[in-house]
């Protein structure tokens, strides 16, 4: 016997789940919706993390997919700092952190992507950051405050955007990229 039942279980606290919840309501679904995400914040857009948020030009609130009140107003239960730890599609049950079992009618798996950790000597040293979440963007901004020269490992969208943002705030940046310099790069993006 499950501890509780919901009509829609949205696993993952990113944009996909946030838009799914909104779309369900927009299309008239009036069943219960539970959105479970392991980050401390409600779902937010990550693009500002390498752009205006990193440069200190935008606040966290501006990156939220929906304002904090939206979830209550739309009868969407939001669990932050919470992981889904097990899923049984046949029984239509999920375990959430803490051991509670949830029976669902339908589930969306929107657990997103993970950072590709660099496995090289020295990768554990201080001053090395990965960019993925609000906290990592904050850490980069704090750390570069005293830096003159920053090295970005990886020169696709995110590396190039970070280099452009840090250059814009007065830092010298070097991108280290595995591709040759004259390889076709990503299309130009506006910052």
Ligand X SMILES: Cc1cc2nc3c(=O)[nH]c(=O)nc-3n(C[C@H](O)[C@H](O)[C@H](O)COP(=O)(O)OP(=O)(O)OC[C@H]3O[C@@H](n4cnc5c(N)ncnc54)[C@H](O)[C@@H]3O)c2cc1C
> Which residues are CB-contacts of 168 (< 8 A; sequence separation ≥ 6)?
55, 191
For ligand X, the binding residue among 10, 14, 63, 93 (CB under 6 A) is 14
Question: Counting contacts by CB under 6 A, is residue 38 touching ligand X?
Answer: yes
Site map (CB under 6 A) of ligand X, residues 128-167, x = contact? ---xx-------------------------x---------
The footprint of ligand X on residues 52-81 (CB under 6 A) is none
Element (H, E) at 102: strand 100-109
Number of residues lying near ligand X (CB under 6 A): 23
For ligand X, the binding residue among 9, 49, 63, 164 (CB under 6 A) is 49
Question: Counting contacts by CB under 6 A, is residue 33 touching ligand X?
Answer: no
Phi-psi category of 130—alpha, beta or left, where left has phi over 0 and alpha has psi -120 to 50?
beta
34-27-38 Cα angle (round to 5): 25
Q: Which is nearer to ligand X, 105 or 135 (CB)?
A: 135
Q: How near is the Cβ of 123 to ligand X at its closest, in Å?
A: 19
Q: What is 48-73 written as a DSSP string?
A: GGGTTTTTT-S-HHHHBSS-HHHHHH
Q: Which is nearer to ligand X, 129 or 171 (CB)?
A: 129
């Amino acid at each position: 016997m499950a501890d509780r039942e919901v009509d829609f279980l949205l696993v993952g606290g990113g944009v996909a789940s946030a838009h799914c919840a909104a779309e369900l309501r927009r299309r008239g679904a009036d069943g219960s919706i539970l959105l479970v995400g392991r980050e401390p914040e409600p779902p937010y857009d990550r693009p500002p993390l390498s752009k205006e948020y990193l440069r200190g030009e935008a606040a966290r609130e501006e990156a939220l997919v929906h304002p904090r009140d939206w979830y209550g107003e739309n009868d969407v239960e939001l669990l932050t700092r919470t992981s889904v730890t097990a899923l049984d599609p046949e029984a239509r049950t999920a375990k959430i952190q803490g051991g509670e079992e949830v029976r669902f009618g339908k589930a969306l798996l929107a657990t997103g992507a993970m950072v590709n950790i660099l496995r090289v000597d020295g990768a554990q040293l201080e001053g090395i950051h990965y960019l993925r979440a609000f906290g990592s963007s904050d850490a980069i901004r704090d750390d570069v405050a005293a830096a003159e020269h920053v090295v970005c490992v990886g020169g696709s969208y995110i590396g190039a955007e970070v280099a452009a943002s840090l250059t814009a705030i007065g830092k010298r940046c070097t991108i280290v990229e595995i591709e040759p310099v004259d390889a076709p790069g990503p299309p130009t993006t506006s910052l």
